[in-house]
Amino acid sequence: MSSGALVSRLICTALLVMPFAFAGSALAHGTGFRLVKDPRPLAVRFYYTGGDPMGFAQVRVYSPESDAIEYQNGRTDGQGIFAFCPKRPGEWTLMVADGMGHKVRAVVQVGEGLNPAQATSRQGGGTKPGWLEIVAGLSLLMNIVLISGYLKKKKG
């Protein structure tokens, strides 16, 4: 048997045996679930100005202590609803982005009892582009015009 055929057989054998070699470690990590009876989930619904839900949008939650470190993150459900359990009273900030340029900043004031009924919210930031986005867009258009003019001049 040639050395090339031997190497080929060894590779095939290794590929066949490897899944079984690691099967024990894969089976060692099980999964499970249980219902959590926490009376404090705070649910917030995010939507577009037309009323359509911001379904499956990315959410970042910031606690009253820090607006630089995420407390939690996740996604809204198909109806634009996101729920979390605040650990303490204060102003909780939720930053929501749908990945298509729409963003919402919601500030939720949670009361002393951590009861959702005591929560009030105010919306900040919206889907309107800021001055930085406008400048970036104008710069992009100007670059396209300059490059197309350069290419026309180079051809002619």
pLDDT digit string, tens, across residues 61-93: 999 998 889 999 999 999 999 999 898 899 999
Judge whether residue 148 has pLDDT over 60.
Answer: yes
Q: What confidence category does residue 45 fall into, taking pLDDT thresholds of 50, 70 and 90?
A: very high
Q: What confidence category does residue 24 fall into, taking pLDDT thresholds of 50, 70 and 90?
A: low
| Tokens 């045996």 -> residue | 17
Residue 124 is predicted with a pLDDT of 55
42-133: which CATH topology?
Immunoglobulin-like (2.60.40)
**Predicted TM-score (pTM) above 0.75:** no
Give the burial class of 47: count Cβ atoms within 10 A of its Cβ; 0-12 exposed, 13-18 middle, 19 or more buried: middle
Domain-wise residue ranges, the chain: 42-133
